[in-house]
Amino acid sequence: MKHLSTLNKYFWKYKKLFALGVLFIILTNIFGVYSPKIVQMAMDSMVEMSNTKNGTNLTVFKELKNDLGYDFSSWFNFSSGEDTLRSIVKMSVFLGLLYLIIYVIKGIFLFYTRQTLIVMSRYIEYDLKNEIFDQYQKLDMAFYKRNNTGDLMNRISEDVSKVRMYLGPGIMYTLNLIFLFIFTIWFMWRENWVLTLWVLAPMPVMSLLIYYVSDLINRKSEKVQQQQSLLSTLAQETFSGIRVLKAYNREKAFKESFVAQSDEYKTRQMDRVKVDALFMPIMTLLIGLSTVIAIYVGGLQTMTGKVTIGNIAEFIMYVNMLTWPFAALGWVTSINQQASASMQRINEFLLFKPDIKNNEPVAQPISGKLVFDRVSFTYADSGICALKEVSFEINPGETLAIVGHTGSGKSTIASLISRQYDPSRGKILLDGKPLPNHQLAHLRTEIGYVPQDVFLFSDTIANNISFGIKGKTNPENIEMAARNACIHENILTFKNGYNTLLGERGITLSGGQKQRVSIARAIIKEPKILVFDDCLSAVDTQTEDLILRNLTRIMAEKTTVLISHRVSTVKNANQIILLHEGEIAERGTHTELLELKGRYFELYQKQLLEESNLTGLLEG
């Protein structure tokens, strides 16, 4: 249960609801355990009234006065001439109504028990999901490279649901069992302590059984949840990559894989269910054994006059009252152990400390001077050294272009600028201050980042463009950003224009259209720093030239990092660096690099040749 201690802060937050819930459980059980006493009084009073003509001196009235503090004998006028049957009917009606009133009051308190504890569990479920979601957003990119999306989703959905079952039914039935057991034992002990000890004889065996089964269920529940995460991951990846799956005709293979994982999940789930199935009959057997003991020992004591027939009936009812809570103990144990296993998985992420932290509480104005000072970076998971001693400087209003082959480290520089990662060695300075000394949220607000892998949300085109703007965005600004990104005319061809709903990950749009929407999203918020990571790879050279001309005016007062594998994209930059295996191989302007006749020149000549061949092919 140590993993569930993380939830204690929520119990404190909702302490009023929790305290009321405990109070209502106590009141529910006080009235509940008194009902067998009414049955005992009824049976003994029937016997007593059959042997006496003076109904006002019945033992039942003395017991009621001791328990409730009121003498009910004044309600009756038993005359010496009244026949016994009529007196018995009067007493039966009285005790029957008293029994009904007690159960109605118990039902009312039971209703309020659920309205407090179950409602509290829903509030905590809401808070816990929000806490997990907030933590997910704080975690850095390295975390997401190590964990699957399906597993993340499973922990915030399935695992939280199992924790809520502990917070609601688990706690409610556990507290109910505790107080019911205490009150029942107290009432039984008050009647006959010897018979009580006999009835409780099977309880130590039950305690040992619960201890053993709890540990077994916990281990099996953890295996079930792990397999559930694998299933969620497989389903999520299948649906996300459905186009690739269909293109390669891999539906059957993925189905077989899913069936295999489902079979494993079924096997693990059945292992846990078998423990539950064995647990319940044994619990019921032990409770039944207590009932047999109550009848046998109570019968022997009845012969000696130590207990009455009513006492035996009362004890049998008390044992039966404990039957459901103790029988449900296996179910509650299973709930609590599943919740513990789920909370352990949740805590792994809640307690995870991201490498990228906000070290500056106050946001400072950013002008945009960016300096890389001998920066090196190695990916912790793969051990790949992406950058080696990279240094450059960009002033506000200048454009730095980065070219190089795939895997040369271009995108790593973009990730370092927006602090998706921190460098392994060296420093990155912004306006003369180390990047970690800038407030993280403000830093990223002042960066317009267009990633290589464009991601659009399942929302309208307008909302995707205005994604980085807090509050309501002027439609004119959205249209202007779209025009500058050369996507406005395409948007107008859709039936609903800017209100067109995009499919998952922007599947409604082509690759080039998604890139241009992403560019519009970056420039609309007018940041101080613009980072374009190969964001024009899916557009033709004519559209690329038009976009770059539009962006020239926007980039005039901003620090711009333009990453591309096309020379045509970067040729007008103030400074161009060519990366090769993580190092700066060449540096200069477009003209200077061509004069070097080095790698940049070779890349330029190769692309000219490809364009010439393509033009000839089209003309032919």
- Please indicate whether residue 542 or residue 79 has the higher confidence score (pLDDT): 542
User: How far apart (Å, rounded) are the C-alpha atoms in residues 482 and 266?
Assistant: 51
Structural domain span for residue 459:
452-526
The Cα 166–Cα 10 span in angstroms is 13
- What pLDDT, on a 0 to 100 scale, did the predictor assign at position 82? 53
- Predicted confidence at residue 258, as pLDDT, reads 85
Report if residue 362 sits inside a domain: no
**pLDDT tens digits for range 411-457:** 899 889 988 888 999 999 998 899 989 888 888 888 888 887 888 88
Question: Quick check: 3 pLDDT over 60?
Answer: yes
The torsion of the CA quartet 349, 352, 355, 361, rounded to 10 degrees, works out to 100
The pLDDT of residue 113 is 92
Please name which of 561, 595, 588, 593 lies closest in space to residue 409, comparing C-alpha atoms.
Answer: 561
Q: What is the dihedral of CA 219, 220, 223, 224, to 10 degrees?
A: -140
> Which of the two residues, 378 and 234, has the higher pLDDT score?
378
Note whether 214 and 283 are same-domain residues.
yes
Q: Is the pLDDT higher at 449 or at 40?
A: 449
Do 75 and 224 have their domain in common? Answer: yes
Residues 536 and 587 in one domain: yes
Tens digits of residue pLDDT in 434-446: 998 988 888 888 8
Give the pLDDT band of residue 105 (cuts 50, 70, 90).
Answer: very high
474 assigned to some structural domain: yes
Q: What is the pLDDT of residue 452?
A: 79
- Do 118 and 87 share a domain, yes or no? yes
Gyration radius of the chain over CA positions? 38
Q: Give me the mean pLDDT over the 115-140 stretch.
A: 90
What is the crossing angle of helices 309-350 and 203-240, to 10°?
40
Residue 113 is given by DSSP the state: H
| Angle CA 128–130–135, to nearest 5 | 95
Q: Using the 8-state DSSP alphabet, how is residue 485 labeled?
A: T
**Residue 239, burial from CB neighbour count under 10 angstroms (0-12, 13-18, 19+):** exposed
Percent of the chain with pLDDT over 70: 87
Number of domain units in the chain: 3
pLDDT at position 396 over 60? yes
Are 417 and 428 contacting, i.e. CB atoms less than 8 angstroms apart?
Answer: yes
Q: What is the pLDDT of residues 282-294, one digit of tens each?
A: 777 777 777 788 7
Q: Cα-flanking dihedrals φ and ψ of residue 380, to 5°?
A: -65, -40
Residues 6+ apart with CB under 8 A from 168: 117, 118, 120, 121, 122
What CATH number has the domain bearing residue 336? 1.20.1560.10
Give the residue-averaged pLDDT of 580-594.
89
**What is the Cα–Cα distance from 590 to 577, expressed in whole angstroms?**
10
Return the sign of the alpha-carbon dihedral for residues 459, 462, 463, 465.
Answer: positive
Same domain, 534 and 386: yes
Q: Is the model more confident about 192 or about 497?
A: 497
Pick the more confident residue, 61 or 523: 523
Residue 360 forms part of a structural domain: no
Residues 111 and 147 in one domain: yes
Please report whether residue 288 resides in a domain: yes
**Domain check: are 95 and 123 in the same one?**
yes
Residue type present at position 178: I
Are 506 and 579 in a shared domain? no
Does residue 147 lie in a domain region?
A: yes
Instruction: Provide the pLDDT confidence category of residue 109 given band limits of 50, 70 and 90.
Output: very high
DSSP SS3 for 588: strand
Residue where a domain stops, chosen among 317, 350, 383: 350
Residue 532, Ramachandran bin (φ over 0: left; ψ between -120 and 50: alpha; else beta): beta
pLDDT surpassing 60 at residue 615: no
Q: Alpha-carbon distance 502 to 355, whole Å?
A: 34
pLDDT at 29 over 80: yes
pLDDT of residue 214: 67
> Under DSSP, is residue 470 helix (H, G, I), strand (E, B) or coil?
coil
The length of the chain in residues reads: 620
**Of 255 and 212, which is predicted with more confidence?**
255
pLDDT band at 377 (very low <50, low <70, confident <90, very high): very high
Instruction: Identify the band that residue 536 occupies on the pLDDT scale cut at 50, 70 and 90.
Output: confident
Diameter of the chain by CA atoms?
132
Give the pLDDT confidence score for residue 326 in this predicted structure: 66
Asked which of 137-146, 175-184, 240-249, 478-487 is least confident by mean pLDDT, the reply is: 240-249
97: pLDDT strictly greater than 70: yes
Same-domain status, 17 and 66: yes
Mean pLDDT for 72-93 is 64
Amino acid sitting at position 566: R
Average pLDDT of the chain, as a whole number: 82
Cβ neighbourhood burial of 258 (10 Å; 0-12, 13-18, 19+): middle
Q: Which of 21-25, 211-215, 219-223 has the highest mean pLDDT?
A: 21-25
pLDDT tens-digit readout, 229-250: 788 778 877 876 776 777 677 7
> How much is the pLDDT for 61?
65
Q: Are residues 413 and 461 in the same domain?
A: no
Nearest-CA neighbor of 579 among 430, 375, 369, 406?
Answer: 406
3-state helix, strand, coil in the chain (%, to 5): 70, 10, 20
Answering whether pTM is above 0.85, one says no
- Output the pLDDT for position 1: 66
Parallel, antiparallel or unpaired: strands 425-430 and 370-378: antiparallel
Question: pLDDT-derived band of residue 84, with 50, 70 and 90 as boundaries?
Answer: low
CB 216 within 8 A of CB 273: no
The pLDDT of residue 612: 63
- Residue 58 has what pLDDT? 64
Cα dihedral sign, 214-216-217-222:
positive
Tell me phi and psi for residue 80, to 5 degrees.
Answer: -65, -20
Mean of the pLDDT values across residues 316-335?
73
258 shares its domain with 397: no
DSSP string of 1-55? -GGGGGGHHHHHHTHHHHHHHHHHHHHHHHHHHHHHHHHHHHHHHHHHHHH-S-G
CATH number of the domain encompassing residue 469: 3.40.50.300
Q: Are residues 214 and 340 in the same domain?
A: yes
Which of these three, 319, 350, 381, is where a domain ends?
Answer: 350
Cα separations (Å) of 201 from 180, 205, 211, 330? 18, 8, 17, 19
